Amino acid sequence: MKQLMKLFKASLKTTFREKQVWFWSIFFPVLLLVIFLSIMGGTSDKELKINVVSVAEQQDATASGLLTGLQSIPMLKWKEDQPVSLETAEQLIKDKAIDAAIVLPSNASPKPVEIIVNAEKVNSTTTQVIAGIMNKSLETINYSEAHLTPKYSVELRSISSNNEDIKYKDFLLTGMIAMAISQAGLFGMVGLVEIRRNGLLKRLMLAPINVKLFGISEIMVKFVLAAVQIILLSTIGIVFYQANFHINILAFLPIFIVGTITFAAIGFMIASFSKSLESYMGIANLSSFLMMFLCGIYFDTSIMPDYIQPIAKVLPLTYFANGIRDSMVYGFGVMNSAFWLNIGIMAAWSIVTFFIASRFYRWKSA
């Protein structure tokens, strides 16, 4: 135990001396978390506002009636209370000062209400939203003028897998936690390349210590680093973004342990094939970015193209992110079938990658 603790302290110092570990395991995940939660998770409860102006070919009763009805829609923010000329509206759109211009018809020229948007935003969410608003509003006006009451209507209701207070920011936060831990494993074994290149690993084997304890101490350091990441990211999410957690500790701990070991084994495998620090970082970066965007960190994998989904289903970060979410957000326990699937896939990855790494890792300098 005394020898293990000394090796643990030495490994801890070595790990935290590496600038790459600090950047990829601490700074980079925090930076991404803040950026994505601010943009996609939402730091404000304000409703979506769409900046618009109206254009009226003629100021008659038809145009005035439509404008009055549209100005009662809370989501539309009118840059000008009164209609502007077509030339002015088009210039505002080109300058991106507004999201859309609504051309109102008149009694003299009855035709569809025209929505003018910037060509760069024709497929944007804002354009789709305003098109939907206009269709719904004009349908209501048509029914009103015809003195008809629609028989059917649509009402949107959302439910959660378990807890009703779950939001997208909780999904994103737990995905970022899984990604941060995975990067700690992927980039955290870079020291093995350097100590092998310098011949220190061979000397270590000749020293009167148990090499297995050296490996155990490295894994212990990964657990410490992973715990720091969870505490740091969770604190940021809760304090600054009001994240909601429903942790099932009995399910979380096995997922945390197996996931940390899995990515440490993958990092060990990368070190076994890397002759230099540059090659290690190249492989680790490629693996990290591949899994970052394919494993459901920022969005559910079901929305990806069909030919991409099979790749996501074999990558370990997919199951680690799912396991972290299930145990931290949804509160699923060990009796849930998804728990054992996540554990099984990650365990398979850890066994295979550790076997490959131990087989090809060279203890002598390259």
At residue 45, the pLDDT reads 45
Joined together, the tokens standing for residue 145 give 């003028």
The conformation of residue 299, written as its DSSP 8-state character, comes to S
Contact of 324 with 330, CB cutoff 8 Å: no
Element (H, E) at 345: helix 337-360
At residue 121, the pLDDT reads 82
Contact of 54 with 137, CB cutoff 8 Å: no
With CA atoms as reference, report the closest residue to 321 among 342, 341, 337, 307: 342
Interacting residues of 50 by C-beta distance below 8 A, sequence separation 6+? 75, 76, 77, 99, 100, 126, 129, 130, 133
Place of tokens 């000397």: 203
Contact of 282 with 362, CB cutoff 8 Å: no
Residue 197, classified by CB atoms within 10 Å of its CB into exposed (0-12), middle (13-18) or buried (19+), is middle
At residue 207, the pLDDT reads 67
At residue 44, the pLDDT reads 45
- As a whole number of angstroms, the distance between CA 101 and CA 295 comes to 40
Phi/psi for 189 (5° steps) reads -95, 10
At residue 340, the pLDDT reads 96
Is 0.85 topped by the overall pTM?
no
Q: Looking at beta carbons, which pairs linking 200-209 to residues 24 or more positions away fall under 8 Å?
A: 201/363, 202/363, 202/364, 202/365, 205/363, 209/3, 209/7
At residue 43, the pLDDT reads 43
The conformation of residue 53, written as its DSSP 8-state character, comes to E
HSE-up of residue 112 (Cα within 13 Å, Cβ side): 6
* Secondary structure class of 290 (helix, strand, coil): helix
Interior CA angle at 36 toward 35 and 40, to 5°?
Answer: 130
Q: What topology is assigned to 50-145 in CATH?
A: abc type-2 transporter like fold (3.40.1710)
Query: Mind giving me the DSSP string for 108-161?
Result: SS--PPEEE--GGGTTSHHHHHHHHHHHHHHHHHHHHHTT---S---------S
With CA atoms as reference, report the closest residue to 186 among 313, 33, 23, 311: 23
At residue 41, the pLDDT reads 55
Query: In the chain, what are the domain boundaries?
Result: 2-42+163-360, 50-145
The conformation of residue 275, written as its DSSP 8-state character, comes to S
- Bridge partner list, 114: 103
At residue 206, the pLDDT reads 66
Amino acid at 87: E
Contact of 269 with 280, CB cutoff 8 Å: no
Interacting residues of 208 by C-beta distance below 8 A, sequence separation 6+? none
At residue 165, the pLDDT reads 58
* Secondary structure class of 84 (helix, strand, coil): strand
Joined together, the tokens standing for residue 159 give 């439910």
pLDDT (tens, 9 = 90+) of the chain, 366 residues, equals 787 888 778 777 777 777 767 777 788 888 888 888 877 655 444 556 889 999 987 777 777 878 887 888 888 889 888 889 989 999 999 888 999 999 888 765 567 788 899 888 887 777 888 888 778 777 777 777 677 776 666 665 555 555 555 777 888 899 999 998 998 888 878 777 877 777 666 676 666 666 677 778 888 888 988 898 899 999 998 888 888 888 999 999 999 999 999 999 999 899 888 888 888 889 998 998 899 889 989 888 887 888 888 999 999 999 999 999 999 988 899 999 999 999 999 999 999 999 998 888 775 554
* Secondary structure class of 354 (helix, strand, coil): helix
- Bridge partner list, 84: 55
Element (H, E) at 321: helix 316-328
Contact of 7 with 208, CB cutoff 8 Å: no
